[in-house]
């Protein structure tokens, strides 16, 4: 009798557990009701047939917005030439160097010019390797499943980044003309090189976690020596001295001198990139008027974490317009994949009509998209133009992209002001264009955000 009672109790318990396990699942009755959502109407059949052999982006094209927008801009920064990052994630670097390139061409009356992205990429990857290895040493007492250690091992290195990489790397290593250190296959196609570097760094991470501090420091240097060799074999030897001939717009030789990368930068650019620029963010999911810092979001271990001021979109526009009016381009980043027409080269909320295609609304605003991982900054470009109406309000904007001259509108992308509001996230502005009340915000103690915050994945 006792055994019978025990078996019955176990059966009841199992049934309860089963009921609890299934609660919230899709049972047969629910599935039957769900299936009624598709009744094979003529409309549903037509759309199903179309989706079977066409991309969603193609079918969502808004036929009422096919014409090219007006390409006139009331204010435009003088720039020359379009760069191409090829199959790499270096948009942040191309953008930062394009900002400096525009200044250099104007300042020194050059016919054209391009900095070597490969030279900066070399030291970027070397510095990121050191950043990772030293972070592993710093966190060796934490368990492997600690959130910070886990994030480091998931993200040992990559060629994406942001503006602090531009400023810290150039101030430390200088720059060289592209002719001095041109691109290689690996610099233009970085995925396989990155795979090799990640594999080595993760292997070394496990080793460093087992070493005492003095030995770890010694081994880290040996690891970086091996990293340097791999980078040289992939990207070439970064020059420490070179000769460069400067010509004016008429083709006349102005000078021919020897330079180091630092002396070249000092002579032809000469700005303190670490002190002269402010990163401005529009992130409505966080409090405005505050300064934020991103842990480990830097390229150089002894450099600066990403620091930005969060402001309403109208304040961002105010500074961007002031910079463009003064013929000064800006580092700009956004969620470039949203509502893009690559053929026309436009970013316009009216380009694609997903609601009509799927007969449902997509009502989330910018704040909600950020909070739910539906949107975030993915790509950096150079903000070069704005079209203002009679009242001085922006109607559209233009960025110089780094996808080659054949992409978009003559290598550029034109965005409506409405798109700018929804999918623009940050600009980097010279301090001379930043109002005093905004500069004063930099006196705040920054709010530290974790490296894994969804808004701060590297721009590629």
Positions marked catalytic: 91, 379, 401
Q: Which of 243, 273, 272 is nearest to 257 (CA)?
A: 243
Q: Which of 331, 199, 181 is nearest to 259 (CA)?
A: 181
For residue 52, what are the contacts with CB-CB under 8 A and spacing of at least 6?
none
Count of CB atoms within 10 A of residue 17's CB?
10
For residue 403, what are the contacts with CB-CB under 8 A and spacing of at least 6?
84, 85, 411
State whether the Cα torsion 7-12-13-19 is positive or negative: positive
What is the Cβ-side half-sphere exposure of residue 412, based on CA atoms within 13 angstroms?
A: 21
For residue 334, the SS3 value is: strand
Q: Which of 234, 257, 306, 280 is nearest to 457 (CA)?
A: 306
- What is the 8-class DSSP label of residue 385? E
Q: Which of 234, 238, 124, 128 is nearest to 187 (CA)?
A: 234
Q: What share of the chain is helix, strand, coil (3-state, %, to 5)?
A: 45, 20, 40
For residue 288 the two structure tokens come to 């405005």
The CA angle 231-233-239, to the nearest 5 degrees, is: 70
- What is the 8-class DSSP label of residue 83? -
For residue 44 the two structure tokens come to 């549903």
For residue 116, what are the contacts with CB-CB under 8 A and spacing of at least 6?
175, 176, 177, 178, 179, 180, 181, 182
For residue 317, what are the contacts with CB-CB under 8 A and spacing of at least 6?
394, 420
* Length in residues, the chain: 460
For residue 440 the two structure tokens come to 């004063």
């Amino acid at each position: 009798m006792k055994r019978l009672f025990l078996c019955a109790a176990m059966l009841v318990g199992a049934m309860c557990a089963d009921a609890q396990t299934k609660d919230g699942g899709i049972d047969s009755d629910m599935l039957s009701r769900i299936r009624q959502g598709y009744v094979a109407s003529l409309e549903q059949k037509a759309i199903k047939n179309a989706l079977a052999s066409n991309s969603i982006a193609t079918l969502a094209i808004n036929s009422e917005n096919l014409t090219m927008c007006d390409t006139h801009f009331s204010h435009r920064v003088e720039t020359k030439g379009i760069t191409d990052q090829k199959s790499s994630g270096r948009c942040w670097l191309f953008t930062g160097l394009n900002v400096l390139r525009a200044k250099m061409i104007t300042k020194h009356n050059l016919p054209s010019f391009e900095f070597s992205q490969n030279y900066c990429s070399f030291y970027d990857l070397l510095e990121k390797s050191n950043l990772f290895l030293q972070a592993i040493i710093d966190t060796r007492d934490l368990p492997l499943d600690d959130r910070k250690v886990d994030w480091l091992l998931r993200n040992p290195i990559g060629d994406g980044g942001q503006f602090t990489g531009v400023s810290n790397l150039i101030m430390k290593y200088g720059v060289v003309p592209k002719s001095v250190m041109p691109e290689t296959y690996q610099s233009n196609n970085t995925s396989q090189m990155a795979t090799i570097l990640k594999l080595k760094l993760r292997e070394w991470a496990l080793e460093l976690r087992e070493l005492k501090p003095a030995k770890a420091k010694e081994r880290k240097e040996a690891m970086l020596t091996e990293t340097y060799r791999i980078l040289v074999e992939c990207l070439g030897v970064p020059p420490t001295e070179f000769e460069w001939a400067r010509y004016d717009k008429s083709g006349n030789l102005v000078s021919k001198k020897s330079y180091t990368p630092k002396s070249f930068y000092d002579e032809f650019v000469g700005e303190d990139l670490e002190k002269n620029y402010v990163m401005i963010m529009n992130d409505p999911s966080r409090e405005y008027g505050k300064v934020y810092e991103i842990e480990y979001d830097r390229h150089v271990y002894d450099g600066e974490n990403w620091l930005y001021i969060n402001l309403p979109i109208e304040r961002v526009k105010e500074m961007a317009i002031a910079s463009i009016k003064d013929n000064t381009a800006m580092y700009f980043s956004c969620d470039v994949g949203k509502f893009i027409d690559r053929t026309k080269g436009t970013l316009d909320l009216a380009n694609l009509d997903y609601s009509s295609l799927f007969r449902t609304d997509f009502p989330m605003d910018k704040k909600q998209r950020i909070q739910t991982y539906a949107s975030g900054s993915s790509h950096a470009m150079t903000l070069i133009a704005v079209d203002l109406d009679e009242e001085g309000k922006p109607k559209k904007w233009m960025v110089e992209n780094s996808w080659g001259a054949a992409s978009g509108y003559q290598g550029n992308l034109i965005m409506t002001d409405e798109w700018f509001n929804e999918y623009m996230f940050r600009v980097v502005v010279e301090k001379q264009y930043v109002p005093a009340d905004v500069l004063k915000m930099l006196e705040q103690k920054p709010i530290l955000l974790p490296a894994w915050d969804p808004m701060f994945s590297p721009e590629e």
